[in-house]
Structure formats: structure tokens, C-alpha cells
Amino acid sequence: MADFARRAGLNGACLVAGLLLLVVVGLTAWREWSVLALRREVASMEDSLAQRRLQQEREQRRRLAQSPEEREIEALLSRQRAEDRLRPAILRAVEKAWSPRVAMLGLKLESGGKSARVEMLVASLKEAFAFVQRLNAAQPGFYAVVERHGLRPGDPNQATVVSILVEVR
């Protein structure tokens, strides 16, 4: 005869064992997923590192294939690019506006490179105003104005001393 009576202790133990099994399976799946994600991340980092290495090798081969003159030109251009990044924009504008008919006596940067006072010697006042006009046209936001001007005392050539204020606004 078959025993159809319920066994109370066995059902509770089976339920607990089943829940533990589900928790273990869930944790294992989560761990595997995180390991897979980390492997993908490592693979992408390795790929980017390999790409950088290839690029560096190509650049090195290109440099080795250059003639000494080309290397010298490349070094000069590299130094100029570095200087351009370090030099304030106001100095580049003054440099660009300069002409051989203007003698710079002094240049003083103020306000952390946001303004400059330029002292110069010119043969005629027209050259000073042309310099100011070139500065104002150099870049939007530059404002240059002649602060004062006068004849240089004791100069037989009657040269004009000019003070110009340049600001970045």
C-alpha cells in the first residue's frame, strides 16, 4: 500500500535547498557576467595599446627615413609650435603688427597677459597709428590705443616716442 501522507520536514528542507540553489546560480551568473565585461574591457585596452604602438613605430620609421635637413626643419617647427602655445596672444598680435619702420623701446605685460604697454620710437606719428590699426585688426577682442606721444628730447632726427596700450577684451 502506498503512503500518501505528507512529510512536513522534507518539504521545508527542499524549499530551502531550492532557494539556496537559485541564489548560488544567480551569484555564479553575475560573477561570470562581470568577468566577461572585464575581459572585454581588457581586450579593448590591449587593442588601443597595440594601435598606439603601431602609430609610434610608423612615426619612428618616418623619422628615421628623413634626411638630416628634414629632421632639422621638423625640430624647428616643433619648437615654434611649443613657443606659440606658451606665448600669450597679445605678444603674438604685437609681433604680427610690428613693421621695420617701428622701433620697440619696451614692452610690459600686465594683468597676467591680458594687457600690455608698448613704448616705441617712430619717424612719424602716421606709423604709430598704422601700428595701432594693425593691432586692432589682428584679432577680434583686441583694443589698442595711443596713450601719449611726443618728440624725443635732444634727438636731431625729430623721432616721436609713442606709448600704446593694448588690451584683450
Could you list the mean pLDDT of each consecutive 10-residue stretch along the chain, which spans 169 residues?
60 86 96 96 96 93 82 82 69 83 87 84 88 85 85 78 88
Distance CA 119, CA 37 (A): 65
CB 159 within 8 A of CB 122: yes
SS3 142: strand
pTM over cut 0.85: no
Predicted local distance difference test score (pLDDT) of residue 31:
96
C-alpha cell at 165: 596700450
- What is the CB-side half-sphere exposure of residue 21 using CA atoms within 13 A? 6
pLDDT at 143: 86
Cell of residue 89, nine digits: 596672444
